[in-house]
Amino acid sequence: MTSRAFEDNVVIITGASLGLGAELARQLADQGAWLALAARSADRLEAVADECRERGGRAIVAPTDVTDQAQCRALIERTVAEYGRIDTLINNAGMGMWARFEELQHLDVMQQLMWVNYLGSVYCTSYALPYLRQTRGRLAAISSLAGKTGVPAHSGYVASKHALTGFFDTLRIELQGSGVSVTVIFPGFVATGIHERNIGPDGRLLGQSHTVDYRRAMPTETCARIVIRATARRRRQVVMTLRGKVGQWLRLIAPGLVDTMARRAVERGR
């Protein structure tokens, strides 16, 4: 049973102020988790923390820019100072993009995506890992179906998610026998609002979705339930959509078809 798997479990969630991160916090609070909520916006984190306390969880707020190593270390230290340990780290912070590679006005866009989507998880994991070893805890990372294939107009995002996937797949092997589990989640299109925070060719937020028809996207609540269940069960990975699962098999025998499917999925917004 996983309905109370995170009761009194110390869980750090990055990107916890909005979307999937905030929903993960709420659902974990329902189980009685002890939460450390990280994101850049202190005000939004406080609002999520208040919700979590009302639902029966404990919650502290740790404003954190995951691209800053010192802030990631401070997040881990603050959590241990408050709760005395770390049981679970969910690396959820992320940002998207919408621009063909040739349209980029400068390459800082690629650098920013790698910092947020990949290196932020590396930094937090590095500082948390000694504590997770002590508790034989859980590591989870939110990748994307884009972490398994190419997606047009998302080159920097895709590259960062491939890096994230490769890092945690390797870390899982290195941690064999330690008791620490590594779960990588591969969602498809989810109605989290991340697509409204895509950056464009000039590196600025676009402020609207160019990719998702939310009528066809997975609800955030459903995605969060899957993430929590998989992390509780210490699953190796979860590919959330049937199309994603089929695509992995097709890629072995008809890679050109998978490329076409990816292009059409973006065009249709699902």
Active site residues: 157
How far, in Å, CA of 75 to CA of 49, rounded? 15
Per DSSP bridges, beta strands 237-239 and 34-39 are unpaired
Q: Is 199 helix (H, G, I), strand (E, B) or coil?
A: strand
* Sheet containing 10-14: order of strands: 58-63, 34-39, 10-14, 88-91, 138-142, 181-186, 237-239
Structure tokens at 12: 């750090």
Torsion (CA) 25, 29, 30, 32 in degrees, nearest 10: 150
What residue has token string 């009302």? Answer: 54
Give me Rg for the CA atoms of the chain.
18
How far, in Å, CA of 99 to CA of 54, rounded? 41
User: How many CB atoms are closer than 10 A to CB 222?
Assistant: 15
How far, in Å, CA of 183 to CA of 253, rounded? 27
